[in-house]
Amino acid sequence: MREAEVEPNNITLITLLSACAHYPSKTNIAFGETIHAYAFKHGFAMTDVRVGTALIDMYAKCDRLDYARLVFDQMGVRNLVSWNTMIDGYMKNGDVDNALKLFDKLPMKSVVSWTVLIGGFVKKDCYEQALECFREMQLAGVAPDYVTVIAIISACANLGALGLGLWVHRLVIMKKELRENVRVLNSLIDMYARCGCIELACQVFDGMTQRNLVSWNSIIVGFAINGLADEALRFFHSMKKEGFEPNGISYTGALTACSHAGLLNEGLKIFADMKRVRRVLPRIEHYGCLVDLYSRAGRSEEAWDVIKKMPMKPNEVVLGSLLAACRTEGNVELAEKAMKYLVELYPEGDSNYVLLSNIYAAVGKWDGASKIRMEMKKRGLQKKQAFSSIEIDSSIHNFVSGDKYHEENDYIYSTLELLSSELQLCGYVPDFVGKESYEVD
C-alpha cells in the first residue's frame, strides 16, 4: 500500500494495531511502534480517539504499560473506551494500584468500567476484592450486565459464597436478558455444584430452554466432584444421546466420577472410548484420572506404569495421587521412586516432602521422616499454611491452624473446648501417632 503511494487513514492504522495486539511478538511490537510513530507524525495519536485507544490496547497486550500510559496521557481527546482500555491493561498486567487510581479519576463510571475491575480481580484470584467491588457498584446504582454477573458468579464459586450466589441468582431471575443467557446459567450450575448444592445446580440445568456442550459438562463435572458417580455417568451418556459430541472436559468429568466411586473397569472403558472411538487426544488431566483410578483401587504399580508411559511429563497432581496411594498401602519403595521424580520436576514442592515424611512415619520409619525434614530445611522449604473457610451472612471467614487473630477468637476456642470435652465423655481418644512428622491439612 505504501509502495503504491496510497496514504493510510485512521481505519488502516486501527486495523494494523489490532493485528499487533492480537499476536504479540517482538516483531509485531516493533511494527506497532512504527505505526505509533506514523500516527504521531501525522497527528492521529493525539487527535483521533480511536487510534489512541488502539495504541493503548496494543501496548497493554504487549506488556508495555509504560508506553500505553504515555499514549493515554498525550491524548488530546479521550472517551470512556480509552479510560476502560487503560484500566483493563493495568488489571491484566497485575498493576492493581494504578488501575484503582485511574478508576477513581474516571469522570463517569459505566457498567464496563466496573466490570473491567471485577473481571480483573477474578482473573487474578482476588475474589474477595471482586465481591467488594461489586457491592460498591450496587451502591453506585450501576446495573450489572451478563459479563459482570458471570464474573461475580465465578468469584462466589471459588470462595464458596453460597449466600451471595443465591442473591445473584435472584437478580438473574428478575432480568429476562440474564435468565435466558446460556453462559450465565452455565455459570450458576458450576457455582452451585462447587458450593455442594448439586440439587440447585440440577434445577438450573432442568429449567434451561436451550443447552450447549458447556451446560452438559458443567452438570457432569458437578455430579463428579460431589461424589455422585452414577448421576455423572448417566448425564454423560444422555449427553451423547442428545447429539452432543463429548470433548476433553466431558471425559474429565466422567473419569473423575469413576475415580471417586472406584469404578475401575468403567473408567478404563471410557478412557479407551475417548482414544479409539471419539478420537479425543488425552491430556494430562485424563492421565491423572487414570492414575487416580488405579491408585484408589489399590493398584499403585499399574498407576506407576501409566505415569512412565505417558506421552508428556507428569505434573505434581498426577504424582501426588500416586504418593497418596503409597501412603494408604504403606508402599515406601514406590513412594521413594515417585518422590525422586517429583524432586527433579518440582524441587520447590513442599507438600510432596510433607507427604513422604508422613508415609515414613505411618510405617514407623522415623529416620526416613527425619531425613525428609532435614532435606526440607536444606532446600529452604517450609510447609505452606492451609486454611479452612466458612460463609456466615454472605461473609467469608478464613481460619488457619492455631489461629488467634479472629475477632470471635474467644468464642471459637471456648466452643472447641466444649466439643472436645463432650467427645471425650463419649469415649473419643485423640490419635497423636505420627505427630513428629508434618501433618497435611
- CA 271, distance to chain mean position in Å, is 25
Q: What is the SS3 string spanning 2-44? A: CCCCCCCCHHHHHHHHHHHHHCCCHHHHHHHHHHHHHHHHCCH
* C-alpha grid cell, residue 231: 448421576
The residue ranges of the chain whose pLDDT is under 50 are: 433-441
β partners of residue 397 = 390
DSSP 8-state code for residue 282:
P
Q: How many residues does the chain have?
A: 441
Please enumerate, as own/partner, the contacts of 258-266 that have beta carbons within 8 Å and a separation of 24 or more: 258/229, 258/233, 258/289, 258/293, 259/289, 259/292, 259/293, 259/296, 260/224, 260/227, 260/229, 260/296, 261/227, 261/229, 261/230, 262/296, 262/297, 263/229, 263/233, 264/293, 264/294, 264/297, 264/299, 266/233
Are the beta carbons of 301 and 334 closer than 8 angstroms? yes
Show the DSSP H helices in 277-349 as ranges: 284-296, 300-309, 316-329, 332-345
Are the beta carbons of 96 and 124 closer than 8 angstroms? yes
- Per-residue b or e along 57-78, where b marks 16 or more CB atoms closer than 10 Å to that residue's CB: bbbbbbebbebbbebbeebeeb
DSSP 8-state code for residue 79:
-
Place of cell 503409597: 326
CA distance 210 to 98: 42
Are the beta carbons of 282 and 271 closer than 8 angstroms? yes
Question: What contacts 340, CB < 8 A, 6 or more positions away?
Answer: none
* C-alpha grid cell, residue 84: 476502560
Place of cell 472436645: 420
Cα distances (angstroms) measured from residue 83 to each of 19, 77, 117, 336: 21, 11, 12, 55
* C-alpha grid cell, residue 335: 513412594
How would you class 267 by CB atoms within 10 Å of its CB: exposed for 0-12, middle for 13-18, buried for 19 or more? buried
In sequence order, what DSSP letters do the residues of 106-130 get, joined into one string? -SS--HHHHHHHHHHHHHTT-HHHH
In sequence order, what DSSP letters do the residues of 364-415 get, joined into one string? T-HHHHHHHHHHHHHHT--PPPPEEEEEETTEEEEEETT---STTHHHHHHH
Place of cell 466411586: 261
Question: What contacts 388, CB < 8 A, 6 or more positions away?
Answer: 398, 399, 400
SS3 at position 156:
helix
SS3 at position 315:
coil
Separation of first and last alpha carbons in the chain: 64
CA distance 236 to 216: 8
Q: Within 13 Å and on the Cβ side, how many CA atoms surround 417?
A: 6
Q: Within 13 Å and on the Cβ side, how many CA atoms surround 438?
A: 25
Nearest to 300 by CA among 312, 311, 315, 290: 290
State the CB neighbour count (10 A cutoff) for residue 121: 23
CA distance 91 to 83: 12
Please provide residue 19's backbone torsions phi and psi, each rounded to the nearest 5 degrees: -65, -45
